Chain A
Amino acid sequence: MLKRSDPPLLSIDGLAVEFDTPHGRVRALDHVSFDIGAAEIVGIVGESGSGKSVTAYSILGLLPRKARVQSGSITYLGRSLLGLPESELKTIRGSEISMVFQSPQTALNPIRPVGAQISDVLRAHSPLRGRDADSRAIEALHAVRIQDPERRVHAYPFEMSGGMCQRSVIAMALACTPRLLLADEPTTGLDVTTQKATMDLLVELNRSRGMSTMFITHDLGLAAQYCDRVVIMERGRVVEHGPTAQIFSRPQHVYTRKLLSATPQGHDKLTDLIPASERQVFGPIRQLSEAAPMPDPEKEPVLSVRGLTHDYVLQKPPRILSKFMAPWHSRPEAAPTSFRAVDDLSFEVHQGECLGLVGESGSGKTTTSRLIAKLVKPSAGSIRLHGEEIADTDPRSFARSAKRRLIQIVFQDPASSLDPRRTAFEAIADPLLRLERLKRSEELERRIHGICDLVEFPQALLGRYPHQLSGGQKARVGIGRAISVNPALVVLDEPTSALDVSVQAVVLNQLDKLKRALGLSYLFVSHDLNIVRLMCDRVMVMKGGRIVEQATVADLFSRPQHAYTKALLDAIPRIEFGGEQAPISGFERSRLSAGAVPRS
């Protein structure tokens, strides 16, 4: 597959890019060099800010105006791409080199049918017009295995699922049979099963058309599974590159090793996610944790949920308007007026336990976490907190009751869960002021400093606003706020999904440590089974609002009972490279797993 003697399709040599910012010039890329050979899949792996996307934008000449290429060259088939006039770049973009962007919903024009958007690309780069372009659009959709393409060609993006949107974007990118595809995190935001289907499709198209692919990802698992070669980037530099098997079995650079260990893959303990050299930071509280009591199933559970059900009422036209509306506007009587998001859930959370809740988007897991956190009142069922019924309490009055302190929540996105106009100090102080009736005093400051130490948030940063903090620091503020009032149960709603893997590794350890040190109980909501395996004691798998399987972590991962659980487990990207193991090419790997590809 990999003939190194061939001249590379694309060659990047010593590329340096700088950005002009109000605070001076910032170097985004620093002497980046790598090649992409014909029919090769090259993974560009790195965390946020590593320069992966800037590299892709440089190739297509799509850098923002404030960016400047300082030095280096980008050569495509012997032709330098840097400094090409816009008119020539236009003919290359889309027809020779094309790109799949990160979020399919924003990459598609929301007010045009997908077929028309594919035809646009064809009209721009080929002599095809009218009917011919339209029938090629249908072929393109067919190629990405969208079922019933004759009908789907007229569909608008909002009428399709995330996975189908991403397939349409890929169809658009491939419509003019480019020789190089730049895929920028093409599966971020997709469910694992959809991700697997999309990646398998990309690899298959790549092999059948002999097209090269530059695959940008933050997920080492995906890179390991689908790429021929991997380029590891950190802060604008290439720290290591080589054949996939070599990188993963014998990583040379410290950063590669750190990334590898931070990626939850077959580790036995949470602490394994952090390189041994950095682990001693966790000294003091670690000792405390060993002494913490283990969950005791005999005692009364912290939280006991029975028959929890929630229906969303679908919007009806207001009565006042429907009176005036003509009959052609009225819904048929049979149309559903509500949607059951959570259906008859029963579970218990014991003292000191971490209960995982796993499911894909639309499974009802977020609704469940909001119900448990008392942000929404359930339609039916019982929620008992320390044996006391709280399901019927209205969330607004619950917010001012004494029990509000006992259930806290850490939200999914630390950026949007912090008030942009409040400092870190004010964010952590808020629950203390409201729920513990503390006054602004030295006592309050002492408490907040204590919380900072617990979540390892530097006290010096307390006066900063959220936009002045890093992702990991924001996550710590969010956690600090939740644990400040000594809750009994903390709902963790995908607390690390917005974080880089190395930050995630630290935050997860932190959460585990806090649980032991403070005797907390967690309801841990996540889509990532790898994390759940390390964090949780028991797991519930949710699908379509119902729990399809509930088991201990050991049982669920070794002996999954339900077919859906098996499909989820199967879709997790794996890093499987033994020390001396012969590398399996991406094509063979994708063929091996092709049987499991769910057809759209």
Chain B
Amino acid sequence: MQPSSSIVSHAARIVTLNWLSVAAVATVTILLLLAVFGPMLAPFDPYATDLGHVLLPPGRTHWFGTDQLGRDVLSRVIVSARLDLFIAVCAVTASFTIGVGIGGLSGYLGGAFDLWTSRIAEMLQVFPLFVLAMALVAALGNDLRNVILATAIVNLPFYVRLARVEVGVLSSQLFVEAARVAGNGDARIIARVLLPNVMPNLMIQLSVNLGWAILNAASLSFIGLGIRPPTAEWGIMVADGAAQAMAGNWWLVVFPGVALALAVFAFNLLGDALRDILDVRSR
């Protein structure tokens, strides 16, 4: 019923209430722009080695300096955004779709289905997440697809459990019974009544998880179990830079590290902003 323009203006009003939300939206927008246009924006070829200009500190030509092979750090930080966001978005989309489907059904149906899916989700959760991801990549092989798969699997239990609880609580609400009295079948109740009502909380989790997924992918690369060099990727760059940092070449670790931290931070803050925007009651 609401015209979309009012939703946009509502979002604008909510976001501007809190400067952290402004910062989060701005940072996420910049990250997305970098992911799309990164290769065009990068001042240098991120893979071109230049042995004449190795380990230059940040300066006028190379704003973020160069690494031990003379590659431009700024360009490498910029093009990394696409890869890291790609991994995060793919992994989180997969875990969101599957997790909400399973969790929503087990919350709605209950019984044996709920019992089994909940136990399996718990089994996944008893492992330290990162160790589980490491094990998966180590077992399946060290490539992009498996990094995405591992990231998706470690995030899956969160969605299963969240969707299960949210749907379970909602199912006992009177308006769900009212929908049944109005002649709605199960499928329609799930799609038209339950899902729209659980979506706000799930979207918050989604945003926070995007941050985690980026961190997870970078961490796998950092310990050599994810994306492999020479690919430009924040985790690898931090790992490479860590060795150089001892020698005083701080820029190799600081810039990709800051980019990574900003990305994780921004997605977490975006979750808070989304909660306020999506809550129909604040309209």
Seen from chain A, the residues whose Cβ lies within 8 Å of a Cβ on chain B are 318, 320, 370, 373-375, 395-396, 399-400, 404-405, 407-409, 411-413, 416-421, 423, 425-426, 430-431, 434-435, 463, 465, 467, 478, 481-482
What is the bound-complex CA distance between A404 and B185, given in angstroms?
12
B244-283 interface code vs A (CB 8 A; 1 in, 0 out): 0000000000000000000000000000000000001101
Q: Could you write out 19 A-B pairs with CB less than 8 Å apart?
A: A318-B112, A320-B115, A370-B177, A373-B181, A375-B180, A395-B180, A400-B183, A405-B183, A411-B178, A416-B175, A417-B174, A419-B193, A426-B1, A430-B182, A431-B182, A434-B184, A435-B182, A435-B183, A481-B178
| Cross-chain contact B280 with A408 (CB below 8 angstroms) | no
B177 to chain A: closest residue by CB: A375
| Cross-chain contact B184 with A399 (CB below 8 angstroms) | yes
Instruction: Identify which of B178, B180, B181, B185 gathers the most chain A CB atoms within 10 Å of its CB.
Output: B181
Q: Which of B1, B186, B281 contacts A420 (CB 8 A)?
A: B281
Contacts of A320 in B (CB 8 A): 115
What is the bound-complex CA distance between A430 and B176, given in angstroms?
12
What is the bound-complex CA distance between A484 and B188, given in angstroms?
20
What is the bound-complex CA distance between A402 and B188, given in angstroms?
17
Contacts of B281 in A (CB 8 A): 420, 465, 467
| Cross-chain contact A400 with B185 (CB below 8 angstroms) | yes
Interchain nearest-CB distance for B62 vs A (Å) = 49
What is the bound-complex CA distance between A418 and B181, given in angstroms?
13
Is there a chain A Cβ closer than 8 Å to B173's Cβ? yes
| Cross-chain contact A420 with B178 (CB below 8 angstroms) | no
B38-81 interface code vs A (CB 8 A; 1 in, 0 out): 00000000000000000000000000000000000000000000
Is there a chain A Cβ closer than 8 Å to B20's Cβ? no
Contacts of B128 in A (CB 8 A): none
Q: Which of B173, B182, B184, B185 contacts A416 (CB 8 A)?
A: B173
Which residues B106-130 have CB closer than 8 A to chain A? 112, 115
| Cross-chain contact B197 with A420 (CB below 8 angstroms) | yes
| Cross-chain contact A418 with B183 (CB below 8 angstroms) | no
Instruction: Identify which of B1, B175, B184 gathers the most chain A CB atoms within 10 Å of its CB.
Output: B175
| Cross-chain contact A404 with B175 (CB below 8 angstroms) | no
| Cross-chain contact B183 with A404 (CB below 8 angstroms) | yes
A373 to chain B: closest residue by CB: B181
| Cross-chain contact B1 with A423 (CB below 8 angstroms) | yes
| Cross-chain contact B186 with A431 (CB below 8 angstroms) | no
| Cross-chain contact A416 with B181 (CB below 8 angstroms) | no
A416 to chain B: closest residue by CB: B174
What is the bound-complex CA distance between A405 and B183, given in angstroms?
8
What is the bound-complex CA distance between A420 and B177, given in angstroms?
14
Interchain nearest-CB distance for A577 vs B (Å) = 39
What is the bound-complex CA distance between A478 and B183, given in angstroms?
15
Is there a chain A Cβ closer than 8 Å to B230's Cβ? no
Is there a chain A Cβ closer than 8 Å to B83's Cβ? no
Contacts of B185 in A (CB 8 A): 396, 399-400
B115 to chain A: closest residue by CB: A318
Contacts of B196 in A (CB 8 A): 421
B182 to chain A: closest residue by CB: A431
| Cross-chain contact B180 with A419 (CB below 8 angstroms) | no
- The verdict on A396 contacting B1 (CB below 8 Å), with A318-B115, A408-B181, A409-B181 known, is no
Other contacts beyond A399-B183, A423-B1: 7, CB < 8 A: A400-B183, A400-B185, A409-B181, A411-B177, A417-B174, A431-B182, A434-B188
Instruction: Identify which of B174, B177, B183, B188 gathers the most chain A CB atoms within 10 Å of its CB.
Output: B183
Instruction: Identify which of A320, A405, A409, A419 gathers the most chain B CB atoms within 10 Å of its CB.
Output: A419
What is the bound-complex CA distance between A413 and B173, given in angstroms?
10
Instruction: Identify which of B174, B186, B188 gathers the most chain A CB atoms within 10 Å of its CB.
Output: B174
What is the bound-complex CA distance between A408 and B180, given in angstroms?
10
B169-208 interface code vs A (CB 8 A; 1 in, 0 out): 0000111011111111110100001001100000000000
Contacts of B183 in A (CB 8 A): 399-400, 404-405, 431, 434-435
| Cross-chain contact B182 with A421 (CB below 8 angstroms) | no
Interchain nearest-CB distance for B176 vs A (Å) = 8
Contacts of B1 in A (CB 8 A): 423, 425-426, 463
| Cross-chain contact A404 with B186 (CB below 8 angstroms) | no
- The verdict on A411 contacting B174 (CB below 8 Å), with A373-B181, A400-B185, A431-B183 known, is yes
| Cross-chain contact A419 with B184 (CB below 8 angstroms) | no
A409 to chain B: closest residue by CB: B181
Contacts of A463 in B (CB 8 A): 1
B111 to chain A: closest residue by CB: A318
| Cross-chain contact B180 with A412 (CB below 8 angstroms) | no
Interchain nearest-CB distance for B163 vs A (Å) = 17
What is the bound-complex CA distance between A448 and B159, given in angstroms?
39
| Cross-chain contact A396 with B197 (CB below 8 angstroms) | no
Contacts of A399 in B (CB 8 A): 180-181, 183-185
Contacts of A409 in B (CB 8 A): 177-178, 181
Contacts of B184 in A (CB 8 A): 399, 430, 434
Contacts of B177 in A (CB 8 A): 370, 375, 409, 411, 417
What is the bound-complex CA distance between A501 and B174, given in angstroms?
23
What is the bound-complex CA distance between A478 and B1, given in angstroms?
19
Interchain nearest-CB distance for B9 vs A (Å) = 15
What is the bound-complex CA distance between A399 and B177, given in angstroms?
10
Interchain nearest-CB distance for A411 vs B (Å) = 5
Contacts of A405 in B (CB 8 A): 183
B278 to chain A: closest residue by CB: A421
Q: Which of B112, B186, B193, B283 contacts A396 (CB 8 A)?
A: B186
B76-119 interface code vs A (CB 8 A; 1 in, 0 out): 00000000000000000000000000000000000010010000
B279 to chain A: closest residue by CB: A420
What is the bound-complex CA distance between A482 and B174, given in angstroms?
14
Interchain nearest-CB distance for B169 vs A (Å) = 12
